[in-house]
Amino acid sequence: MSHIGPTAQPDKRALRREFLAVRNGLTADDVREAALSLAERALGMPEVARAHAVAAYVSVGAEPGTLTLLDALRARGVRVLLPALLPDNDLDWGEYTGEDSLTLVRHGGRMALSEPAGERLGPDAVTEADVVLLPGLAVDGRGMRLGRGGGSYDRVLARLDRAGARPALLVLLYDSEVVAHVPAEPHDRPVDAVVTPSGVRRFK
């Protein structure tokens, strides 16, 4: 029986709830320690070390922390692009120049997101990135990522394909979020690697 099609969505919704429940049980210390390890692991990757531009995001709540990594990239002279959510769930981009360049934006009834406060560079700005960090809740042995379900990053990946851009696609997760199987649909695209506090696993 295939998991592709309508049956995939309830599976994904249930999985998202499970992974979010585990994250919500983490302490602030757990999240902080993991963020330091994630930054160290990611910065040691050759594709990150040679990147001129990285498209990333600001972690929220108990998500695997990204700010330590963003600041380290900036200190290396890397251009860091951050998303701004548009009304249709697509993403515009702006440049990160430190925590004072962020503004908290509430989107309807959803969580508030830290977004770049400065100039908007347009949705196509992501095609200039050498590395794209994708948010996720889990990844499986094929590199298939379970996202949050908004579809924003499906659009980003389609935009990269249309532009012929081939950045390294990375997802930052906790160790327990690397799993045996994630339901996948025809448009889903695998990531190149997952970074967890204990190491890096590549899929290609």
For residue 1, is it within any domain? Answer: no
Residue with tokens 């990269």: 160
| Mean of all residue pLDDT scores within the chain | 91
Residue 149: name the closest of 4, 15, 5 by CA.
Answer: 15
6 pLDDT higher than 70: no
User: Annotated binding site: which residue ranges?
Assistant: 12-16, 58, 63, 145-153
For residue 84, is it within any domain? Answer: yes
For residue 3, is it within any domain? Answer: no
For residue 116, is it within any domain? Answer: yes
Q: What is the pLDDT of residues 36-66, one digit of tens each?
A: 999 999 999 999 999 999 999 999 989 999 9
For residue 104, is it within any domain? Answer: yes
| Domains: count for the chain | 1
For residue 2, is it within any domain? Answer: no
Task: Find the helix or strand (DSSP H, E) in which 114 lies.
Answer: strand 112-116
The CATH number linked to 69 is 3.40.50.10420
Q: What is the pTM of this model?
A: 0.91
User: Annotated binding site for substrate: which residue ranges?
Assistant: 58, 63
Confirm if 66 and 58 have CB atoms less than 8 A apart: yes
- Phi, psi angles (nearest 5°) of residue 113: -115, 140
5 pLDDT higher than 60: no
For residue 13, is it within any domain? Answer: yes
For residue 15, is it within any domain? Answer: yes
Q: At what angle do helices 28-43 and 67-75 cross, to 10 degrees?
A: 30
- Whole-number pLDDT of residue 203: 94
Q: What is the pLDDT of residues 122-178, one digit of tens each?
A: 999 999 999 999 999 999 999 999 998 888 999 999 999 999 999 999 999 999 999
Q: What is the pLDDT of residues 71-81, one digit of tens each?
A: 999 999 999 99
Range of the domain at 152: 8-202
Residue 93: name the closest of 156, 163, 166, 158 by CA.
Answer: 156
User: Annotated binding site for ATP: which residue ranges?
Assistant: 12-16, 145-153
